[in-house]
Amino acid sequence: MATQPNAVRMVTYQFEVDDDTWTDWKRTVPRDKSLEQRLIELIEADTDGRVEPSVDDSAASVEEPTPKPVDEPISEIVDQAGSDWQGDHPALRESKIVSLRSALQAVRQEPQSKSELQETVYDKYADDISSQNERSWFRKTVKPYLKQVATYSDSSQKWHWDGE
């Protein structure tokens, strides 16, 4: 398949932001606009110089940022899932990635049952992944990847983290 000379190349980028910040920002986006569309508008505004640099931005340009430790097992699994979900709509794909990361982090902190994950994680992202009910979300989005780093205990009926 030949590439057209004027074809626009697209970039897919995965990033991390804490849940509270993401939720607060998401609530500011009008319902008639996708999160992807709003992010593109913000990037374009910043590129066009319509966004003033913050005090932190100017300080960061002078000093070298301290690298943050990478959460290897979770990051690798989330990257794999993101690749597996390339065919999904970008906003749905991002919501699934965020919810998977959250589920993996929850199990890493302490053993979790399927019900606990559905109550603590799925409920947070249910609006964004409305194409999946909590059962299919766990079965399709979480369980295949959770099995790579956690073991299910029949006696406690919980997933226990064993990946490092």
Q: What string of H, E and C letters represents the secondary structure of the chain?
A: CCCCCCCCCCCCCCCCCCHHHHHHHHCCCCCCCCHHHHHHHHHHHHHCCCCCCCHHHHHHHHCCCCCCCCCHHHHHHHHHHHHHCCCCCHHHHHHHHHHHHHHHHHHHHCCECHHHHHHHHHHHHCCCCCCCCHHHHHHHHHHHHHCCCEEEECCCCEEEECCC
| pLDDT, tens only, 70-89 | 467 888 999 999 999 998 88
Residue 124 has pLDDT above 80, yes or no: yes
Instruction: For the chain, give the mean pLDDT.
Output: 80
The pTM (predicted TM-score) of the whole model is 0.57
Q: Show me where the domains of the chain are located.
A: 19-62, 72-161
